[in-house]
Each structure stands twice: as C-alpha cells, then as structure tokens.
Structure 1
Amino acid sequence: MKYYIIAGEASGDLHGSNLMKALKKKDADAAFRFWGGDLMKEQGGTLVKHYRDLAFMGFLEVAVNLRTILNNIKFCKEDIKNNMPDVLILVDYPGFNLRIAKFAKELGIKVVYYISPQLWAWKEGRVETIKKYVDEMMVILPFEEDFYKKHGVHSHFVGHPLLDAISNLQLVSSDDFKKDNGLNEKEIIALLPGSRKQEVEKMLEIMLSVRPYFKNYQFVIAGAPSLPRDFYQKYVDENVHFVSNKTYDLLRSSKAALVTSGTATLETALLNIPEVVCYRGSKISYAIAKRLVKNIKYISLVNLIMDREVVTELIQNDLTTKNLVDELNKVLEGEKREHILNDYESLRAKLGGKGASENAADIILKI
C-alpha cells in the first residue's frame, strides 16, 4: 500500500517513525511519502518537507508566518493529489492536518488520525471536522476515549507510543555517557528547552539563571535535532555542556531535569527522572491561550494524565529564578523526590502496556 504521513513536530517524527517500522513488518509492499524529520527518513520513503520548516509556536508567530503556512497547505494538497495514496495518516498537528483531512476525504482517500489533537483543552468544535473527514481516530491518552465517546466519535486507545520507544532503547551507563561526551564527574541537571528556535532562546536564559546556586552540579543542554549545533554555543561554558540526539541517554544519566512543557515532560517521567516543568510564551500568545483553553488545570502531560499535580509547573510569571531554585532543590533530594518517583509508577500503569505502534498499524491495515 501507499502511505502518506504528515507529522509537523519532533514528537510526531518519533511516533511516525515507529509507526512506519510497524507497518513495514505487516505490509511487505509498504511505500511511504511523508512530512516529518530525520527519524522518519531513516525508515525509507520520500521526505516531502522537514518539520523544521513547519513548526511555528504561539498565536503571534503563526500570524506572522501565515503566508508560509498557507503555501505549505496548498503544496501538500497538490502533492497528495499527484500521488494518490491508499491512506493518509495524520499525526497530531491539527491546524494543518484537519485542513488536509477534508481535502483527502473528498478525493476518496482513507483518512486515519494517529495521536489525537488536544481538543479536550481547546477548540473542542474541531471534533465535528473529525466526525466528517476522519475514518479512524486513534488516541494515546486513556481519558481521550471518553472525550470522543461524549461527542459521538468512536476512537481506539492504542496505548502510548513512548512506552515502546523507551523500552526499545539501548541506553549507555551514566559513567560511559559522561566519558563519551567530555563531561566531568559531577552529577547532571538536564535542560530540555524545547525544539523551536524562539522557544529555546526564551527557556535557556531562565533555566541557566540557576547555575550559581548549584555549583556542585553540571548542566547539560539537550539539543533539538532541528537546530544547528552552533546555535547553542553561546550558552556553553566550563559547567554548561551540550549534546545532540542523545536526550534519552542524557536523562537517564541525570539527577533531575528542567523541562519545557510538551511531550518531553512525559518522556522525562517515563525515564524516571524527577523534573520541574517550565513554560513561558510571548505575552500576547499567553493572553490569548488563557482565554481559549477551558477547564484544564495543568499544562504537563504527566499531571494531565494523573489528573493531579505530580510535578511542579512554573508558568509565565511564576517562572522565576527563585522559584526554579526552590523547586529544583526539592526534586534533587528529599521527600518530594520520593513522592514523584512513586507517582511515576502509577503513571506508567495508567498508560497501558507496550505495543501502540503495532496496534495502530493493525487498525490502519484493516481499513
């Protein structure tokens, strides 16, 4: 079969690549054309556009880049029409993907949504678009099945693909990681500032402001694969290091982490590393988001899945050096650290067993 997959962010690239791997096992004639990144490219097929050219963060940034986004949508429609795949697989990225779903459905192409947009947080009305134009909806968070059922949409909870991604890793020891990356013997505090340039610039400045208070630790920045190494050089010194494409090895070798909200908060938890979740957007984007997001108490996936505060979230004006220092001290040693590690066990149980990519591949092949 011919598969056309659209993933617009780094996390989508990871999950898309594992889905491609599962599809290849079950379909010897699988041919892929996709929007994604380097991980999907490793699975073979044709990379149409890299997600680094698609990712715009926040309402203001989207408005500034609207012409580019509209041109990408037009190009994508033309590419799908010229290649006529058997199935279109959409990975999150709703602003773009829901427009493409309508177009593909009208062409008679089967449409599958793998990894639901977070419609339970905002833009709930998009469920109607999914009803009309999506043949199969697959969700990876346990509460999402009930959300869609409430709206009369049948969905499949396939499990969370991060469980597969992490369980399949061959991770190095902490000592080997330090040696291989030129690090000293101090314990590590990992910094995960995000994957978009404007996001990283905002987050690293405040994250690194805690350095004078933790002189017995070394800080290591997890570089985004979509950003060049030289972009990070201005942040590096004798006690701040940088690694690229080694985020999981870094986390497993760390004592704690400061993490920008997003998929990385869940990755950090599944690797059993206590964390402090950070977020700061532009004032305009944050003000708009506050008006649009309804009934959501948390921004991190860890807290959303558990429906209570497991990890501390420092958002916008609460993201200060003082608050970061206080919370980081709590997760490095003591009672709060132990509570977090215990809660992580419950989190893994809630996410179900392994096999999300295999389950998703089976559903796709059935249609």
Structure 2
Amino acid sequence: MKYYIVAGEASGDLHGSNLMKEIFKQDKSAQIRFWGGDLMQQVGGELVVHYNERSFMGFIEPLLNIRKILGFFKKCKQDITSFQPDVVIFIDNSGFNLPIAKWAKEEGFRTNYYISPQVWASRASRVKAIKRDVDQMFVILPFEKDFYKKYNYEVEFVGHPLIDGIVGREQVDEQEFRNEHNLGTKEIIALLPGSRKQEITKMLTTMLKMVDKFPDYQFVVAGAPSKTEAFYQSFLQGKNVKFISNKTYDLLSISHAALVTSGTATLETALFKVPQVVCYKGSWLSYQIAKRIITLEYISLVNLIMDRPVVKELIQNEFNESNLEQELQLLLNDEKRKEFFLDYFDLEEKLGGKGASKKAAHSIIKGLT
C-alpha cells in the first residue's frame, strides 16, 4: 500500500515517526512519502518538505508569508496527485491539513486524521468540515471522543503516543549523563522554551532571570533539534546555565523541576513526573485574537485532561519575573511536590495504555482492505 503523511512541527514529526514504524511493521510492502522532519526521515520513506521550511507562528506571521504558504499548498496537492497514495494521513497541523483534506477528499483519496485538530479549543464549527472531509479520525486525548460524539461523528480513541515513548523507557544513567554534560551535583531545573524561534526568543529571556535567584540549582536549557547551539548562546552568555540539545527526555528524567512553554512539552514533563510551571507569551495582537476565539479554561494539556488546575499557567502578562520566581519556589516545596506526583499518576491512567501508534496503524491498514 502507498501512504502519504502530512505532519508539521516537532511533535508531529515525533508522532509521525512512531506511526511510520508501525505501518512498516504491519505492511511489509508499504511505500511512504511525507511532510515531516528528521525523526520521520530516520524511519524511512521519502521526505518531501521539512517542517522547518513552513514554521509560521501565531496570526500575523502567516499573513506576512502568504505567498510562500500558498506555494506549499500547491506543491502538496501536486505531489499527492503524482504519488497516487491509497490513503492520505494528516497529523494535527490544522491550518495546513484541513484545506488539503478537503481537496484530497474531493479528488477521491481516502483521508485519515491522526491526532485531531484542537477544534474543542476554538471554532468548533470546523467539525462539520472534518465530518465531510475525513474518513476516519484517530484521537489521542480521552475527552475528544465525547466531544466529537456531540456532533454525531464517531472517532477512535487510540491512547496517547507519548505513553509509548516515555512510560517504561530505559532509565538514563544519571551520573554518566551528568559527567557527559558537566552538570555537577546540584539538583537540575530544566528550561524548555519551545521549538520555534519566536517562542524561544520570548520565553527564554524571562526564564533565565531565575538563574541568579536560585543559586543552589543547576539550570539547563533543553535545545530543540531544529535550532543550532549558536542561536541559544546569544541568550546564555555570561550566565551559569548549561545547554543540552536534542536530549530533552534524558534531561527530564533526571530533573527536579521545569519551566515549560505551553505545548506538547507540558504533557511530556508530566509523564516524567517533573513538577512544572507552564509558560506562554505571544505578540500582543496574536494574544488578543486568541483570547477572543479560544474557549478553553486552560492552555496546558495537563490541566485540560485533568479538567482542573494541576499545574500553574503563567500566560501573557502573568508570565513575568516576579510570578515565575514565586511559582518556581512552590515547585521546590516537598508537600507541593507530593501533590504533583499523585496528580501525574492519575493523568497517566486517563491517557490509556501503551500502543497508540500500533492501534492507529492497524486501523489505518484495516480501512484499506
């Protein structure tokens, strides 16, 4: 069978790579072309466009790059037409994927969606288009199945793919890791400022202000694989901070606490049982627009899944030096840490067991036979 996968961003690349591994296991004759990143490329298949080339954030930046984005739409349609896949599989990335799904369905291609767009967060009216354009939706968050049911759209909950990559993984040797990266003996506070240039620029400057306030801890910046060390060093000069690139899971596995930019990383941090503060700050205009269309009470996946404030969220103007210092101090309190651990275990149970990618791949292949 021939599979065409369209993923964007680092998280889409991660989940896409695990899905591809399972497709190759279950379909020995599988041919795959994809839009994704380095992880998907390592699995096999043919990379068409890397997500770094189309990483546009917020509401304003896409408008400034509209001609480039329209060129990507054209290229994707042409490449799908040329490849003639048995199924087109979309992974999150709704701004790009939903219009392509509409076109693909109209052209007679089978359409599957793995990891739902966050229609439950804003513009639920998009469900109508999803029902029309997507033959099968595979969701990874427990509340999504009930959400879609309200619109008479049956979806399959396969569990969360992060469970496979994190829970039960082989534990890194902490002393070896510390020696390798010259981390010394202090407890580690991990800084996860995001993966996009704009995110990192906005988040890291404030996060780094904590370094001098907590001298008894070793701060370590988790570098995104898509950014060079030279980019980060412009922020780190003159500060007692370590930088480790592309080893976020190893770092989290030995961290005492973390400051995390909102996104998939908040859930990853929780699954490693690391107490965290969730941070987010966008441009003023983007924030004003988002505030008016997003209907959620929380922004972090941890709180959304648990439906209560398990982790503190510092958003926009609340994300400042004073608030961050106060919340980080709370993370270091023994009683507060016990609460985190208990909540995190409950979170893990809600996410279902292992095998999300395996289940999704099985259902995708089954739908083709």
With the shorter chain as reference, the TM-score category is over 0.9
Deviation at 1:168, TM superposition (A): 6.1
Q: Which residue of 1 aligns with 2:262?
A: 261
Q: Which residue of 2 aligns with 1:249?
A: 250
Residue 76 of structure 1 aligns to a residue whose secondary structure is helix
Q: Which residue of 1 aligns with 2:86?
A: 86
Give 5+ residue unaligned stretches, structure 1.
none
Deviation at 1:335, TM superposition (A): 1.8
Q: 1:168 to 1:106 in 2, by over 3 A?
A: farther
Residue 48 of structure 1 aligns to a residue whose secondary structure is strand
Q: Deviations over 1:139-186 (max 9, x none)?
A: 000110011110111100000000011136333122211111122221
In the aligned structure 2, how far is the partner of 1:171 from the partner of 1:61?
40
In the aligned structure 2, how far is the partner of 1:219 from the partner of 1:239?
8
Identity level (%): 59
| Matched-pair contact (CA < 8 Å) for 1:164–1:356 | yes
Q: Which residue of 1 aligns with 2:171?
A: 171
User: Could you tell me which amino acid in structure 2 is paired with residue 265 of structure 1?
Assistant: T
| Matched-pair contact (CA < 8 Å) for 1:173–1:253 | no
- The answer to whether the aligner puts 1:73 opposite 2:50 as a matched pair is no
After superposing on structure 2, the runs of 4+ consecutive aligned residues of structure 1 that deviate more than 2 Å are: 167-171, 235-238
Residue 202 of structure 1 aligns to a residue whose secondary structure is helix
Equivalent runs, 1:200-349 vs 2, <5 Å: 200-236=200-236, 237=238, 239-294=240-295, 296-349=296-349
The more displaced of 230-239 and 158-167 is 230-239
Deviation at 1:334, TM superposition (A): 2.5
Residue 213 of structure 1 aligns to a residue whose secondary structure is coil
* Aligned length, in residue pairs: 366
C-alpha RMSD over aligned residues = 1.0
Q: Deviations over 1:285-335 (max 9, x none)?
A: 0000001112x1100000000000000000011111111111111112232
Residue 258 of structure 1 aligns to a residue whose secondary structure is strand
Q: Deviations over 1:91-123 (max 9, x none)?
A: 000010011111111222110000001100112
TM-score (norm 2): 0.97
Q: 1:89 to 1:352 in 2, by over 3 A?
A: same
Q: Deviations over 1:249-304 (max 9, x none)?
A: 0011111000000000000000110000000000000000001112x110000000
In the aligned structure 1, how far is the partner of 2:37 from the partner of 2:171?
22
The more displaced of 162-171 and 82-91 is 162-171
In the aligned structure 2, how far is the partner of 1:167 from the partner of 1:73?
37
Q: Which residue of 2 aligns with 1:359?
A: 359
User: Could you tell me which amino acid in structure 2 is paired with residue 56 of structure 1?
Assistant: F
Q: Which residue of 2 aligns with 1:2?
A: 2
User: Could you tell me which amino acid in structure 2 is paired with residue 270 of structure 1?
Assistant: L
User: Could you tell me which amino acid in structure 1 is paired with residue 167 of structure 2?
Assistant: S
In the aligned structure 2, how far is the partner of 1:198 from the partner of 1:298?
22
In the aligned structure 1, how far is the partner of 2:283 from the partner of 2:38?
29
In the aligned structure 2, how far is the partner of 1:235 from the partner of 1:171?
31
In the aligned structure 2, how far is the partner of 1:66 from the partner of 1:179?
47
| Matched-pair contact (CA < 8 Å) for 2:211–2:239 | no
In the aligned structure 1, how far is the partner of 2:335 from the partner of 2:183?
29
